[in-house]
Amino acid sequence: MAAFVRSSVSVPTPNALRERARPVFRVVLLLCAIIGMGVPTISFAAVATTTITVSICGNGVIDTGEVCDGGIFNDGAYSSSTASRHCTAMCAAYGPYCGDGTLQALYLEECDDGNNTDGDLCSLSCTQESAPISTTTPPVPPPPPPVPASSGGAGGAFTGTVPIRAQTRVILEGKAYPSASVNVLKDGVLVGVVQTDAFGNFSYEASNLTAGHTTFGFWALDGRGVRSITLTTTFQVTQNAVTTVSNIFLPPTIDLKSKKVKLGELLEVFGFTAPSVTVSVFINKENTSHTFATSSPSGLWSASVPLDGLQDEAFHTVKSMFEQLGGGTQAKSGFSQAVSFYIGLRDVGTPGTGDLTGDSKVNLVDFSILLFHWGTDHAVADLNGDGRVNLTDLSILLFNWTG
């Protein structure tokens, strides 16, 4: 955290020193006159003052060198307006917010024109607005130009209509894993595959789209062939314009060295993500204490997670996300899929795949069956065999989701 503390030492001024020395100086003059000496000259040195300034980020005061300071709210979280925007942890910039001029598709923004006002085609809450209806009569168009004479026939007449040639395009930009193939889906159908660069960045462009709400999905395989979750985003495509959607961040992939550990041991977790980012690992819930790891330049990350305080002889889940700070910007992914593991010594079977119907697919039919048996001990839906159909079984089903 940071604040500016100023400290200085009070030193007598030259005038004050002269006043204090005046009686002594008179005595010196008298003695010099008695013994016949010349009059001495007394000089005073200049006094220098030093000011020390210390900056503390998090005190709620914008000090020198800080862009912002929201006190304990310096989390860089997304805000729905400029007035309530959140400062980042280093007080060097604001986190994403409606009104920053950047389309935050991950936070369901349909537009962002850099303000929080209505009536300019983008509302104060960053949703699309309809164009205003004109209440005036449009001017009469000019007459068409004369048709040039042609010896070969009547020729074509100018109709006064100019065709619109601007394409309706979408540019999608994001971050996945270094040198990975990102599969792009439009409304659930695969429409393209793009390659990421060495930093995990990718860009995909689609043209000749139909205006309106459109859903794009993204998934990739990491360096070990583990598939990520399918990240989806829905936004408004504008007719005859280019819609750019950035900050599409695929969460890390996640796997375990062993899916059965003893209480008191460390859970070895690893996977792939964007290079040189901070990975947070959570056990069971997002609001629990978590472990941090840093990914390598190749995107590989690993962490040893303590299991203190967790229930023994029971199944648990682990998931991860990544965050990157620097240059006044913040990149933060959503959560990865949840992976199930068991703490204890009891022999437990391998959790089921979620294919409750046996059709080699895990989809809405299997999801409906699991919900039907929710809270019971029905063996069909109890994927981890712990005697209860609950959130852990749902996590296993979603991890094996095929659609």
Q: Cα–Cα distance between 16 and 122 in angstroms, integer?
A: 67
Domains and CATH numbers, the chain: 1-44+51-97 (no CATH), 169-248 (2.60.40.10), 255-343 (2.60.40.1930), 349-403 (1.10.1330.10)
Residue-level pLDDT at 120: 81
Contact predicate 284/305, CB 8 Å: no
Residue 1 has pLDDT above 80, yes or no: no
What angle (nearest 5°) sits at the alpha carbon of residue 220, between those of residues 216 and 225? Answer: 160
Residue-level pLDDT at 299: 93
C-alpha distance from residue 116 to each of 65, 79, 123, 232 (Å): 27, 12, 7, 26
* Confidence at 112, pLDDT banded by 50, 70, 90: confident
The pTM is what? 0.49
Contact predicate 356/369, CB 8 Å: yes
pLDDT digits (tens, 9 = 90+) for 15-25: 655 565 565 55
Pick 280 or 56 by higher pLDDT.
280
46: tokens are 């200049």
* Confidence at 33, pLDDT banded by 50, 70, 90: low
C-alpha distance from residue 132 to each of 89, 137, 236, 258 (Å): 41, 14, 18, 61
Q: Residue 272: name the closest of 323, 224, 339 by CA.
A: 224
pLDDT digits (tens, 9 = 90+) for 176-222: 999 999 999 998 899 999 999 999 999 999 888 888 889 999 999 99
Q: Cα–Cα distance between 356 and 363 in angstroms, integer?
A: 9
297: tokens are 């330049």
Contact predicate 229/219, CB 8 Å: yes
pLDDT digits (tens, 9 = 90+) for 243-287: 888 889 999 999 999 989 998 899 999 999 999 999 999 988 776
pLDDT digits (tens, 9 = 90+) for 309-328: 888 888 888 999 998 877 66
C-alpha distance from residue 138 to each of 120, 145, 161 (Å): 21, 20, 15
What angle (nearest 5°) sits at the alpha carbon of residue 137, between those of residues 136 and 139? Answer: 125
* Confidence at 167, pLDDT banded by 50, 70, 90: confident
Average model confidence (pLDDT) across the chain: 79
3 state SS for 289-301: CEEEEECCCCCEE
**Average pLDDT value for residue range 293-304:** 94
